[in-house]
């Protein structure tokens, strides 16, 4: 008998352990059908038994679990079997879960044989009005029961062949765009839809079933209700029903949207719309309410309808002025009937009714007057002059105006009327001439010459009383200025520029006075003009220098006696000027006593001092107390007169052989000239093949370079390395250097040591003494070289430390 194993599970059972195996349904092979092998059973087991199978489908044979007939998942999806066996000690058992694996062996079917639904006119696109339901007995967790719906055909195909849509997954039926816009029960009241349902998610090899869905088209009462007119301030009781709507289709919920206070309007489940509080037409005179109908899931069923609520007016508002007090001005020469202000009250009642008609009255005036000065128009609120003239009246009046509607509701405001003085009087000087006034030529700017006043008969403090003064002539060079006191109208003549007797000794000023506003009566005459005479008194003045500071440049090393600058000055009184120097402590410079020529006395060295600052004193030749001074700064221009030099002590330094990577002697140099000549210093080895083979110079910065071995090994001794240091000028200045450099073998820590020759066999006393003497000879030679090298160095140069390995820029 052949064995057919569709799924073979190997497991090692022990007491209480659960084992799961999957077995496909509808097996059509040879039986018994072996499902799984039970491995690792103890060697001494016996009495292997399967229980929990009431139908006798399963059994065990030689450690194999088998089935005697096909399994049907739709009948029983799983089996729980107990497998037990006996050992020499006791009986053990474990559970085997047999899960029946589904096959697609069932055709989907519609739940209802006769599928009917109704669609309401006005339903929006995509809103389901019914649902087609189907069932597949295969495993719902597999594609075998994954159903897909499809609309196959619509009958009749009017007014469009695509009036309906079915959701492929849910089976919900809804209108398309064309269906929602063209559905008409008079054109077609009933449609038949051919619908297919497939399993396997609609794949080509799926099982399918078709059915017919009958759709009835019904009318709908969903329409905008008639507008509603409500009187404001209704007494109630509230809520008051004002309108009603109804959706005649499936279950619906209603809500209201619009610009109105929350809970002012509400709608019930039955579609009744309520007013919940009194309305105020002055706050809002109408409401546009959108009524929304939705499914319980919140999706709109149809387009919202509109309810217009209009609010009727009640005369419940008194007229009010926009402000409690007004201010206005009337000219003192205003004629009768001159309008001075219009007051307008507002009534918030309906402007289309007589409730807003307002009447104005003048009910009070402070201070009172024997004759009527003002009136107000009853209908327009225009306030005008009632008197023939306002001359001789009080400077200010306060009027009380009331506004009243037809019902007698009223309010009031006050109007403050200021009687404005008009400019009918010109300013007049008390005299035609002022002076003469004497003022010394050295008087400081801001000195007061005199103060005058032109009187004005208009009301004090007003624009007609204010006076503008001007200097009409005699002040073409703006030597004087006018300062007016606006509180008193007094004008002060003030010196605004320095006087010069030699240039101008007398000033005749013509002063005029006018008001800032035009005259309404009369004109400006001779009395509004005056003459001011000023004499300038001569004063001896000190000399004046042409510059407050001189900047001079001189090249270093130039011949003494050259004129490097000329200090120029003059005396307003034409007196001679004497010049002298202060601050030249080393007497490097001289100045001509009367010529002001500044000269060098000796050659200057920029490296000694690059800048000199001194003061030149100019003294009046007739009065030594009168003087002036100026600063002179002399900048010394650099000349390339210094060669670069090597700085530092290198006698104690050494280089290791064989060559150590990154080991070098840091060589420092400097140049006493300025950066333009000694900025970057260049190191170069002598043009010798051996030198350039053995040594290498690597620049670090403008003043430092590294000296290192250029070959891996150099015999230990003291070498003389020849090189040149050149500055960056053109042509350059150079210095030739022969630098002794010690090259020696080094230990692992980099310390210099003398190399010892390797000896053959055991050393003798004679060889030991020879080695000792040889060592002393080498040390003596090194010391001699070091002392000779030291003799070449500048004794004034300080010794360097290990910090010299950090390259530093040398600034001179």
Q: Give the C-alpha separation, 253 to 588, whole Å.
A: 109
Query: Do residue 705 and residue 628 come from a single domain?
Result: no
What pLDDT is stored for residue 603 in this prediction?
83
pLDDT at 809 over 50: no
Please name every residue paired with 51 in a beta bridge, in sequence order, or none if there are none: 82
Query: Do residue 356 and residue 464 come from a single domain?
Result: no
Number of CB atoms found within 10 A of residue 458's CB: 20
On whether residue 765 sits in a domain, the answer given is no
What pLDDT is stored for residue 40 in this prediction?
60
Structure tokens at 298: 């919140």
On whether residue 525 sits in a domain, the answer given is yes
The answer to whether the CB of 810 falls within 8 A of the CB of 647 is yes
Q: pLDDT category, 3, cuts 50, 70, 90?
A: very low
Question: What stretch of H or E contains 691?
Answer: helix 689-694
Query: Do residue 525 and residue 672 come from a single domain?
Result: no
What pLDDT is stored for residue 677 in this prediction?
65
Taking Cα atoms as reference points, which of 568, 577, 564, 565 lies closest to residue 545?
A: 568
On whether residue 156 sits in a domain, the answer given is yes
DSSP assignment letter at 668: E
The residue among 251, 286, 312 that closes a domain is: 312
What pLDDT is stored for residue 67 in this prediction?
94
Q: pLDDT category, 768, cuts 50, 70, 90?
A: very low
Task: Give percent above pLDDT 70 in the chain.
Answer: 90
601-617 confidence digits (pLDDT tens): 888 877 778 888 999 98
What pLDDT is stored for residue 210 in this prediction?
95
Least confident of 14-18, 64-68, 731-735: 14-18
Task: Give percent above pLDDT 90 in the chain.
Answer: 53
Q: Give the C-alpha separation, 259 to 214, whole Å.
A: 43
510-563 confidence digits (pLDDT tens): 999 999 999 887 789 899 999 999 999 887 777 888 888 998 888 887 888 888
CATH of the domain at 612: 2.60.40.60
Find the domain containing 455 and state its range: 428-537
The residue among 69, 101, 133 that closes a domain is: 101
Average pLDDT over residues 777-797: 55
Average pLDDT over residues 642-669: 90
pLDDT at 801 over 50: no
Query: Do residue 362 and residue 415 come from a single domain?
Result: yes
User: What is the bridge-based pairing of β-strands 645-647 and 665-670?
Assistant: antiparallel
Query: Do residue 783 and residue 659 come from a single domain?
Result: yes
On whether residue 81 sits in a domain, the answer given is yes
On whether residue 811 sits in a domain, the answer given is no
Average pLDDT over residues 429-439: 94
The answer to whether the CB of 655 falls within 8 A of the CB of 721 is no
Query: Do residue 434 and residue 522 come from a single domain?
Result: yes
719-739 confidence digits (pLDDT tens): 999 999 988 877 888 899 999
The DSSP secondary structure of 109-144, one letter per residue, reads EES-SSEEEEEETTBPTT--SEE--EE--S-TTSGG
Structural domain tally of the chain? 7
On whether residue 223 sits in a domain, the answer given is no
Taking Cα atoms as reference points, which of 301, 251, 294, 296 lies closest to residue 124?
A: 301
Query: Do residue 656 and residue 791 come from a single domain?
Result: yes
What pLDDT is stored for residue 9 in this prediction?
42
123-174 confidence digits (pLDDT tens): 999 999 999 999 999 999 999 999 999 999 999 999 999 999 999 999 999 9
Average pLDDT over residues 475-485: 95
Q: pLDDT category, 678, cuts 50, 70, 90?
A: low
The residue among 420, 440, 474 that closes a domain is: 420
On whether residue 679 sits in a domain, the answer given is yes
Query: Do residue 559 and residue 492 come from a single domain?
Result: no
What pLDDT is stored for residue 573 in this prediction?
65
Query: Do residue 561 and residue 628 come from a single domain?
Result: yes
What pLDDT is stored for residue 743 in this prediction?
95
Query: Do residue 289 and residue 379 come from a single domain?
Result: no
Query: Do residue 67 and residue 172 come from a single domain?
Result: no
What pLDDT is stored for residue 440 in this prediction?
93
Query: Do residue 791 and residue 661 come from a single domain?
Result: yes
Burial of 405 from C-beta contacts in 10 A (0-12 / 13-18 / 19+): buried
Based on DSSP, count helices (H) and strands (E) in the chain, helices before strands.
4, 56
What pLDDT is stored for residue 287 in this prediction?
96
The answer to whether the CB of 285 falls within 8 A of the CB of 350 is yes
On whether residue 1 sits in a domain, the answer given is no
């Amino acid at each position: 008998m052949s064995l057919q194993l569709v799924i073979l599970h190997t497991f090692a059972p022990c007491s209480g352990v659960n084992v799961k195996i999957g077995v496909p349904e509808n097996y059509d092979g040879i039986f018994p059908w072996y499902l799984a092998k039970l491995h690792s059973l103890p060697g001494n087991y016996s009495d292997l038994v399967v229980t929990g199978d009431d139908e006798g489908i399963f059994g065990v044979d030689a450690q194999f679990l088998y089935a005697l007939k096909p399994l049907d998942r739709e009948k029983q999806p799983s089996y729980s079997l107990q497998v037990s066996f006996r050992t020499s000690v006791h009986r053990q058992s474990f559970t085997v879960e047999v899960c029946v694996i589904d096959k697609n062996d069932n055709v989907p079917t519609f739940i209802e044989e006769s599928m009917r639904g109704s669609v309401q006119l006005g339903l929006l696109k995509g809103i389901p009005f019914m649902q087609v339901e189907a069932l597949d007995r295969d495993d719902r967790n597999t594609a075998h029961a994954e159903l897909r719906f499809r609309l196959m055909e619509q009958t009749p195909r009017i007014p469009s062949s695509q009036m309906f849509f079915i959701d492929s997954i849910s089976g919900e039926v809804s209108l398309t765009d064309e269906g929602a816009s063209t559905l008409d029960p008079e054109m077609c009241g009933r449609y038949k839809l051919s619908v297919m349902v497939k399993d396997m998610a609609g794949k080509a090899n799926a099982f399918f079933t078709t059915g017919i869905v009958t759709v009835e088209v019904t009318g709908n009462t969903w329409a905008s209700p008639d507008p509603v007119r409500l009187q404001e301030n209704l007494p109630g009781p509230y809520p008051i029903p004002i309108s009603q709507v109804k959706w005649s289709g499936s279950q619906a919920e209603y809500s209201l949207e619009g610009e109105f206070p929350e809970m002012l309007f509400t709608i019930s489940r039955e579609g009744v719309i309520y007013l919940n509080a009194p309305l105020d037409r002055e706050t809002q005179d109408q409401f546009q309410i959108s009524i929304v109908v939705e499914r319980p899931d919140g999706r709109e069923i149809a387009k919202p309808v509109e309810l217009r609520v209009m609010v009727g007016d009640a005369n419940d508002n008194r007229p009010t002025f926009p402000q409690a007090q007004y201010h206005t001005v009337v000219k003192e020469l205003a004629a009768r009937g001159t309008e001075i202000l219009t007051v307008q009250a507002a009534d918030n009642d309906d402007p289309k009714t007589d409730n807003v008609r307002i009447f104005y009255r003048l009910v009070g005036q402070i201070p009172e007057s024997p004759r009527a000065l003002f009136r107000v128009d009853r209908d327009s609120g225009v306030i005008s002059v009632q008197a023939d003239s306002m001359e001789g009246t009080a400077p200010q009046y306060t009027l009380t105006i009331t506004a009243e509607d037809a019902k007698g509701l009223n309010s009031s405001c006050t109007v403050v009327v200021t009687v404005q003085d008009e400019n009918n009087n010109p300013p007049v000087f008390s005299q035609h001439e002022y002076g003469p006034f004497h003022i010394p030529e050295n008087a400081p700017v801001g000195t007061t010459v005199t103060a005058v006043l032109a009187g004005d008969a208009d009301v004090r403090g007003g624009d007609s009383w204010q006076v503008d003064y001007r200097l009409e002539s005699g002040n073409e060079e703006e030597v004087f200025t006018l300062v007016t006191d606006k509180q008193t109208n007094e004008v002060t003549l003030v010196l605004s520029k320095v006087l010069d007797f030699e240039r101008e000794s007398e000033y005749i000023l013509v002063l005029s006075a006018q008001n800032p506003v035009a005259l309404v009566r009369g004109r400006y005459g001779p009395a509004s003009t005056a003459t001011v005479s000023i004499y300038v008194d001569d004063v001896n003045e000190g000399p004046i220098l042409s510059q407050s500071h001189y900047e001079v440049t001189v090249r270093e090393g130039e011949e003494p006696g050259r004129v490097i600058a000329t200090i120029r000055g003059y005396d307003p009184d034409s007196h001679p000027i004497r010049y002298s120097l202060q601050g030249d402590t080393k007497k490097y410079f001289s100045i001509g006593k009367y010529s002001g020529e500044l000269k060098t006395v000796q050659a200057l060295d920029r490296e000694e001092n690059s800048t000199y600052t001194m003061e030149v004193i100019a003294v009046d030749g007739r009065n030594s107390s009168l003087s002036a001074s100026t600063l002179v700064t002399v900048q010394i221009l650099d000349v390339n007169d210094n060669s670069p030099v090597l700085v530092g002590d290198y006698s104690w330094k050494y280089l290791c052989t064989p060559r150590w990577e990154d080991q070098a002697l840091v060589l420092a140099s400097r140049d006493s000239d300025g950066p333009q000549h000694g900025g970057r210093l260049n190191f170069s080895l002598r043009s010798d093949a051996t030198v350039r083979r053995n040594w290498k110079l690597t620049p670090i910065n403008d003043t430092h370079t590294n000296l290192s071995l250029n070959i891996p090994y150099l015999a230990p001794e003291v070498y003389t390395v020849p090189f040149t240091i050149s500055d960056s000028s053109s042509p350059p200045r150079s210095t030739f250097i022969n630098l002794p450099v010690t090259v020696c073998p080094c230990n692992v820590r980099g310390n210099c040591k003398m190399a010892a020759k390797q000896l053959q066999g055991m050393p003798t006393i004679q060889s030991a003494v020879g080695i000792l003497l040889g060592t002393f000879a080498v040390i003596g030679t090194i010391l001699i070289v070091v002392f000779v090298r030291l003799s070449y160095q500048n004794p004034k140069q300080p010794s360097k430390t290990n910090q010299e390995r950090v390259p530093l820029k040398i600034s001179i």
